[in-house]
Amino acid sequence: IIVQDILPGKLDMAKKLGADILIDGNLSLDQRLMQVREATDGFGPDIVIEATGVPVVFREALDFTGRGGKLVIVGLFADTGAIDIHPAQICHNELDILGSYVYPSVMFQDAISLLKRTPLLVEEIVTHVLPLSELPSGIELSGSEGVGKVVINPWM
């Protein structure tokens, strides 16, 4: 498992949760590509999950995905802009691209089952629980160093 992030705290958390290789997202694209290629014997990952919703990161994810690989986009919930894509790259590398807007209910069942078996996982990932009245500060907080998941609880 290779994880890339721009915040060191998020990389530390990924390591605790089982990531094998951590990539500093602040490095140049060429440096990051080189690290990923070295870690995958020059092939690139079979599966890349893009969960930021940032168009330029999706563009980069195309470069990271290995030949015959699958790129899964799960972080895009609003139109955040357009990017240049070269269809020849997708065809030449025989890439599958899968978008997901909302997870199917079976995925939630799997996630709940996992959390029941490993309660410490939630304690590691969720760093803040805030009432609905603090939603704006929760959104701002979510991109900060040392912050994992911010949960907004409307019943608080």
77-106 pLDDT, tens per residue? 778 888 899 999 999 999 999 988 776 677
- pLDDT at position 2: 96
| 50 in Cβ contact with 73 (< 8 Å) | yes
CA atoms of 139 and 47, how far apart (whole Å): 29
- Picking from 20, 59, 57, the residue whose alpha carbon sits closest to that of residue 40 is 20
- Residues 105-122 have a mean pLDDT of 76
pLDDT class for 108, splitting at 50, 70, 90? Answer: confident
Q: What is the mean pLDDT of the chain?
A: 89
- Residues 138-148 have a mean pLDDT of 87
Residue environment code for 68-106, b if the CB has 16+ CB neighbours within 10 A, otherwise e? ebebbbbebeeeeeeeeeeeeeeeebebebeeeeeeeee
- Residues 128-150 have a mean pLDDT of 90
CA atoms of 3 and 20, how far apart (whole Å): 8
pLDDT class for 111, splitting at 50, 70, 90? Answer: confident
Q: Which of 37-41, 71-75, 145-149 has the highest mean pLDDT?
A: 37-41
What are the start and end residues of each CATH 3.40.50.720 domain in the chain?
2-99
pTM above 0.85, yes or no: no
- pLDDT at position 41: 96
Strands 21-24 and 2-5, how do they pair? parallel
**Fold type of domain 2-99:** Rossmann fold (3.40.50)
Question: Helix/strand/coil (H, E, C) string of 7-20?
Answer: CHHHHHHHHHCCCC
